[in-house]
Structure 1
């Protein structure tokens, strides 16, 4: 008898840096039995090489939740990498006889089609993100968020300094009215309500504080120059008045 499993393989997909959930059904007789998940296709060594079991429900990036009412236990893998792609076995230990297994094929996709744009701006000045918006997404929610990874970024559209502009059938733009040093970072924009590979545009924004400081210094220098010129003019006038009296 070959050491392999199974005739049916459920396929799931997810994206790099996001999470994936492997759902494993079991029968009513196995409610109190040990449940586990391993990688590969060998039932005989699955328990010994288990990534997580129902005895220890949290193991690094792996978390197991048993939903007894629906008789399904779910293993969630967070912070996915491309190496997480592959075959996984769901196992339920039997007190007598062979353990019961089901198989899941996980495919982790790279954010291969995301457009990346590098931008720069200066403190106190505006900067605008130009976001493509395909015609089929025209009535969908438009999003600009900040942070990395994309699945945990912070929505910036409700911030007072971020304004939505120039909405058209093919694009929309978001302007930060007055840049701050803390605005530097990674931004994502999309118009599709479903987050998936290829429908984000990524921006890397750098904020130059030197120009702002240089601008302040220039204003101060100009003010100082005017003050010096005013003093010189007053001294010259005083000197002329004294000469005129003599």
Structure 2
């Protein structure tokens, strides 16, 4: 009976571990010479427990590399630490960071929670870390606007740190651009800069539509493909041509306002003068037509009578017929 009870108790503890376990990604790949951070998630009841990180495929033979109950490393020596661990009980996750990984660091690792019980196993999760030679890119597809700039980051392993880096259009070996002994390349359209720590950056300074396509960045015999898409620049609105009856409004300045005021004032004065003059002529004609001046008529009659008398005298004195025989004259 006691044996059945013991077996049942152990099974319950293992069931608890399965239901309330620690989880992480089953595998990670990283280039040699770079850093890696592994997140390990746990259930709320383990928030106050000690967390640890060890190397090995079995818990009993796992070599401890870091624990949360160990003293925090000094700031001056933090950069020299190969492995660091940090617990965040609010987010229910502890993270492990491994720096400057080498190929020999590849293998199985375990993140676990120290339960502390005799009859209970520690909640844990395994992950397989692979440190590889070669290259990778954080983003294999990039896009930029025509006329703008875009940068491509190419990562490489430590083995290719001193190797020349190159950027080529896929299918065209003659298009390859190479870095010099200083790890740089620069021309009118493309800049390449190698930081000599595991990454080089390719920057297009002014994208053209013809730049769109597949490329690959390489180091040594390694290469990785990248697709670059160029978006056409948004068209700008052209000014609308107005008809003769419409005009485009122009900004009013003090100079233009004074000029316009002077011209407008002069036009108003001329128009007023012409209007008054026209009205005066029209009124005079109307007045003369309806009410003629008697003095004017009398004057005209006097001038006419004088003219008539002069004409009569002229006729009387001018038309004379002489008869030599009679020496008499007849007045007509």
**What TM-score comes out, normalization by structure 2 length?**
0.37
**What TM-score comes out, normalization by structure 1 length?**
0.48
Q: Answer 1 or 2: which has greater helix percent.
A: 2
Which has the larger Rg? 2
